[in-house]
Structure 1
Amino acid sequence: METKIYTLVMKGKPEGPFSLEELKALDVKPDAFIRKPGMDDYKEAHEFEELRSLFGFKQQFTAPQYFAGFDLRLLAAAIDWFLVLFVVAVAEFTYILAFDKEDAVQLILLSNLVALPLLKFVYQIIAETKTQFTVGKRMLNIKVTNLDGLKPSFHQIFIRNLGKIGSTLTLFIGYLYSFLNKKQQCLHDVWAGTLVIKERLI
């Protein structure tokens, strides 16, 4: 006997539970609200992979409405730079105290010219791939998405962060490009097919 796990909102009231076969007989629409055990809230039918297969639905996306401007991006980057600098400074200070390497201070400072940008590059890729935001972005309630407003792929995140080098080396023209389009994409966002959005207008 097929498991009945789907609760369907019908005429404004939750009905069920139903099995997949029973849902098929009810002629469920893509925007019908459905819930399965363990879910915190209802979702539309097109959001369930098994229902898309059953009914031939196409998954629908709600296009992002609010985009992070240059000011929010700049502030988020400043927060992230401060975080990276703080972590590195603490680590280096601890190393100098523990191993009495005062003579290595100049070498450490020079190595930071390479180490800091590389560390930030790796940090951003890891953070944005896993959660779509860095600490700075999280504090400002903004995140990186693909053009549909969904989680971007690792490839997109990598291209985006690699592209930031080009946006910087072109005298920041890549960043200023965000003023020229409605979605406020920097050039590296255009190259990667990404957006930086905010959940609401702030």
Structure 2
Amino acid sequence: MKYTVVINGKPEGPYEFEELKALAIKPETFIRKPGMDDYKEAHEFEELRELFGFRYQQTAPQYFASFDQRLLASVVDYFFITLAYVIFMLLIFIVVEHKTQRILVGVTLLPLIPIVKFVYSSFAEASAKQATIGKRLLDIKVTDMQGSRIELGVSLGRNLAKVLSVLPLFFGYLYSFLNKKQQCWHDIIANTLVVKQRLI
């Protein structure tokens, strides 16, 4: 494994792991390994913490997911949930033969879509991935104000508070345009952020 190190504002290297010992690397020194999209600070690498005796420093997120990214992630989630609902209804229609009964069952079970979305989002965003499928595809995730994973109770409260962001006229979502951290009302209520890894 070779490392590129930012020294005096310029990337230098690559250096072998053993060569790093001779460099004046500090916890905040920016370093990148092959396969990484962007640089990270030295204290974020486990092997460098062991080599230099650094401690991991929890830092607040710097980049926040935009409204369009969050909207697209939600659309993707609803697409997969609706697809699962359609497949489920097709299986139901095999059992229910009468047309009127099929329509009644389809309409009756339609509220399952937002309920499933609520339950799925709550558990997915409190998981180790901190994101639903849609958010993972957009490379964004839900965190607390320090960038750490949120607890299930917080996630449930956050997703429940989305009702307040929807009413009236989705203003709670549009409020993200007026907030430096691009938080919607439900984010502010739950003290959460939706973050991305890079500015671009």
Task: Tell me the TM-score normalized by structure 2.
Answer: 0.72
Q: Aligned with 1:184: secondary structure?
A: coil
Matches within 5 A, 1:1-202: 12-13=20-21, 41-43=47-49, 45-47=54-56, 60-100=57-97, 102-130=99-127, 131-202=129-200
Does the CA-based 8 Å contact 2:161-2:186 persist in structure 1?
yes
Query: In the alignment, what sits opposite 1:22?
Result: none
Which residue identity is paired with 1:128? E
Which stretch of the first structure deviates more once superposed, 132-141 or 89-98?
89-98
Task: Tell me the TM-score normalized by structure 1.
Answer: 0.72
Deviation at 1:141? 0.5
Count matched residues.
165
Which residue identity is paired with 2:123? I
Distance 1:103 1:42 in 2: 67
Q: Aligned with 1:118: secondary structure?
A: helix
Over 3 Å counting, the alpha-carbon distance change for 1:110 and 1:177 in structure 2 is same
Deviation at 1:67? 0.4
The unaligned stretches of length 5 or more in structure 1 are 1-8, 15-28, 48-59
Query: In the alignment, what sits opposite 2:33?
Result: none
Deviation at 1:98? 4.4
Deviation at 1:11? 9.8
Listed one character per residue, the Cα deviations across residues 117-143 of structure 1 (whole Å, up to 9, x for unaligned) are: 111101111111112100110111100
Does the CA-based 8 Å contact 2:61-2:195 persist in structure 1?
yes
Does the CA-based 8 Å contact 1:95-1:101 persist in structure 2?
no
CA RMSD of aligned residues (A): 2.8
Deviation at 1:109? 2.6
Q: Aligned with 1:197: secondary structure?
A: strand
- Percent identical: 43
Deviation at 1:170? 2.0
The unaligned stretches of length 5 or more in structure 2 are 1-16, 29-41
Deviation at 1:94? 1.6
Does the CA-based 8 Å contact 2:143-2:194 persist in structure 1?
yes
